[in-house]
Structure 1
Amino acid sequence: MAALKADLLITGARLATMAGAADLGVVEDGVLAVSGGRIAWAGSRTGAPAIDAADRLDCAGRWVTPGLVDCHTHLVFAGNRADEFARRLAGESYADIARSGGGIAATVRATREADDAALASASLGRLDALLAEGVTTIEIKSGYGLDEETELRQLRVARHLATQRRVSVAATYLGAHAVPPGGDRASYLDLVCDRMIPRIAIEGLADAVDVFQEGIAFNGDECARVFNAAHAAGLRVKSHADQLSDGQGAALAAKHGALSADHLEYTNANGAAAMAQAGTVAVLLPGAFLMLNETRKPPIAAFRAAGTRMAVATDLNPGSSPIASPRVCGTLACVLFGMTVDEVLRGFTIEAAHALGRANRIGSLEAGKDADLAVWSVETLSELVAQIGLSPLFARFHQGVRA
């Protein structure tokens, strides 16, 4: 039998394939072959075929995981809201700050004033911090323009970032993030549903449409209208749901076949079951939970009981989660939410891939998938979430290219 031709052969690796139904899919003394930017073979050395590779990497016992997937960020924005941290420490709530002109509205003002070059420059710095922690795919939401021009610019900058770094970008239109300052609610929803979503779909600027269903944002009927407009335009949907109150947001997202519902601190057991049945991923965002000093935890036990997929993400944004570290957020998910190490590692790989509708291409080490890899200088995978401040990433590969 002829040898398998490969561009790269990785040997001496301990693989966490994430290919199993619920575990890490560990393969000791693993081998992984890359050809044409995709995984050609992954498994134990003893079962490997003959492989003829142009390049080789001996991992010397290091761990190899899929490249991390950060499936919920607001990376493209201008300005900062560090002052709000002090205001929250003094007793103001997130909702109080938003109602006084802070929060999302403050970032909208700064983002509208920034030109494309300034937006891209600021965003690249944040992106680089994520890449340094092994991220190979990132979702980037708009939602800090709340007008036609700035929302389109945010999405174009998000697409542009994928040309500046070795990373895959999933862009999401979050026009239904808030009512524009001084804007008319009904007219703005008309703009989002009747003009923006069709235009974004035609121009290929977004892969999905998101909403913020909450008392300070949009109600269920309004979100359902956005979902219907997205489906009519051929776009998948996502939802910020049940973050500050139980608005039945998880159940509504599931009803509309959402890829994910995110935050979910107030989701009830019925919502968890609806998500499991619909295949809607629960994206947990412990950074926002920490920074907002919340006390109501997402219903992890209900998600487990229902069989709801659970992903974890940074929610990187200027106000409620200014955290550019998946590993820190993984630590927080374990300590604050009671997730296991395995749940967090799957949550930043295969489950996050499901949350983006990309699990057929990324998130696990399986033949045919993109060769997005993270190589770690750790003895055990628990170190990735048990230690803070260290930099254990040895190498990062995006579609087979070391980056």
Structure 2
Amino acid sequence: MRVFTHARLATMNPDMPGLGVVEDGMLAEEGGRIIYAGPARDLPADEVVDCENRWITPGLIDCHTHLVFAGDRAAEFEARLEGASYEEIARAGGGILGTMRATRAATPAALDAAARKRLAPLLAEGVTTVEIKSGYGLSPEAEYKCLEVARGLGDLADIFTTFLGAHSVPPDCPREEYLRLLCDEMIPHVARHYLAEAVDAFCETIAFSPAETEQVFDAAAKAGLRVKLHADQLSNLHGAALAARYRALSADHLECTDEADVRAMAEAGTVAVLLPGAFFTLRETRLPPLDAFRKHAVPIAVSTDLNPGTSPLFSLLLAMNMAATQFRLTVTECLLGVTRHAATALGRRDVGVLRAGAKCHLAIWDIERPAELVYRLGFNPIYKRIWSAS
């Protein structure tokens, strides 16, 4: 048994107020699992780690990324600076379809090498669990390739994979035929071969309609897969309510969501995942309905949305700061958003908290108070990341 002593804990335990702080705390783990987290006490130990009054939080969770892809979209960044909109770029064959062409051409080895480089800065900030979506292949072979590459990153962190074949309609396949392919072939294959835990879709005027999204979600339910949704980012198609009808793990973006749809999320237990990197990069001005989320007690998660176009953000610490400064989240909301609530957005109860039975995924910090993790810019106070593959 390994014991971490002289520690200050932010347990994120839902049975405790706020961050679940234990000032004079200790933590014990055995076999990669926490067996005790709480006030200091006498415990037998094979190994003692003196934390010297440092803070311990659960390992951080990035619950919405598009980390596996090839190429970049720096030219589109330039175009947006010159006045082009995200929708204009997408309709001109750029955006997701531009990355699709590069991703289809890349070998699994090349995708793996690039993904590991992108993952490294997240791990260096204490991230121990990462959700990775497909969605840049948009053909059976390329989508399966990306999911397999994502699975292969499990030697570095806990990886949750999501099938996002409904990201865009590829130009080489008619729309109705692609929907049939998604629902009748790709989703069943993904489930049968355990390539993903969930199915996602981009429900938007430039992507998939609510009716088309329902077809995708019906196929997911038939295959026994949970769902998530890119919802109400650019317009209010009531994607959040649609997600709630299917008891989605999360609805993500949500800048245009109305209060009625927030109520539906609350009733379904669907997490609101806020993505300030995309909000910042696209220079959006309409804020997600934070007051409604709070009023109806919808759990709020925060993520990088790491992707090549609309959120080339490689720092979950910076994502927290952006969520606080742009969306006016509190420190507590930000920190719960990258731990316990991010875990809920992935349907996980064994990460994101410090309590007996949880995985021993820890971030140990050289800070005086947890607020430092949110307010500093370009500062990484990590002392040690503890991650167990078991």
What TM-score comes out, normalization by structure 2 length? Answer: 0.98
Please show how residues 184-203 of structure 1 align to structure 2 within 5 Å.
Answer: 184-203=174-193
Task: Determine which of 75, 81, 97 is the counterpart of 1:83.
Answer: 75
2:38 is equivalent to residue 43 of structure 1: yes
Please show how residues 135-284 of structure 1 align to structure 2 within 5 Å.
Answer: 135-163=127-155, 165=156, 167-284=157-274
Task: Determine which of 52, 57, 61 is the counterpart of 1:69.
Answer: 61
Please show how residues 229-378 of structure 1 align to structure 2 within 5 Å.
Answer: 229-358=219-348, 360-378=349-367
Question: Percent identity at matched positions?
Answer: 55
Show the counterpart of 1:20.
14
1:182 positional shift = 3.5
Instruction: Please tell me the root mean square deviation across aligned C-alpha atoms, in Å.
Output: 1.0
Aligned partners of 1:271 and 1:398: how far apart in 2?
Answer: 37
User: Residue deviations 1:146-196, cap 9 Å, x none?
Assistant: 000000000000000113x2x100000000000002421100010110000
Q: Please say if residues 315 and 321 of structure 1, whose CA atoms lie closer than 8 Å, have aligned partners that are also in contact.
A: yes
Letter in 2 for 1:60: E
1:250 positional shift = 0.1
Aligned partners of 1:80 and 1:353: how far apart in 2?
Answer: 29
Q: Please say if residues 158 and 389 of structure 2, whose CA atoms lie closer than 8 Å, have aligned partners that are also in contact.
A: no
Letter in 2 for 1:16: A
Deviates more, 1:213-222 or 1:84-93: 84-93
SS at 2:44 equivalent: strand
1:399 positional shift = 2.5
Aligned partners of 2:259 and 2:115: how far apart in 1?
Answer: 37
Task: Determine which of 116, 126, 132 is the counterpart of 2:124.
Answer: 132
SS at 1:390 equivalent: coil
Aligned partners of 2:151 and 2:268: how far apart in 1?
Answer: 29
Letter in 2 for 1:317: N
Q: Please say if residues 372 and 400 of structure 1, whose CA atoms lie closer than 8 Å, have aligned partners that are also in contact.
A: no
Aligned partners of 1:390 and 1:285: how far apart in 2?
Answer: 20
1:20 positional shift = 2.8
Letter in 2 for 1:238: K
2:47 is equivalent to residue 55 of structure 1: yes
Unaligned runs of 5+ in 2: none
2:387 is equivalent to residue 398 of structure 1: yes
Q: Please say if residues 184 and 219 of structure 2, whose CA atoms lie closer than 8 Å, have aligned partners that are also in contact.
A: yes
User: Residue deviations 1:199-236, cap 9 Å, x none?
Assistant: 11010000000000000000011101111110111100
Aligned partners of 2:242 and 2:380: how far apart in 1?
Answer: 40
Q: Please say if residues 370 and 400 of structure 1, whose CA atoms lie closer than 8 Å, have aligned partners that are also in contact.
A: no
User: Residue deviations 1:308-327, cap 9 Å, x none?
Assistant: 11000000000000001001
User: Residue deviations 1:31-81, cap 9 Å, x none?
Assistant: 000011000101011xx3x32212111111111000000000000000000
SS at 1:24 equivalent: coil
1:385 positional shift = 1.1
Q: Please say if residues 353 and 363 of structure 1, whose CA atoms lie closer than 8 Å, have aligned partners that are also in contact.
A: yes
Letter in 1 for 2:146: Q
Cα distance change, pair 209–33 in 1 and its aligned pair in 2 (3 A): same
Aligned partners of 1:19 and 1:399: how far apart in 2?
Answer: 20
Aligned partners of 1:191 and 1:55: how far apart in 2?
Answer: 54
Letter in 2 for 1:370: K
1:269 positional shift = 0.2
Aligned partners of 1:20 and 1:273: how far apart in 2?
Answer: 21
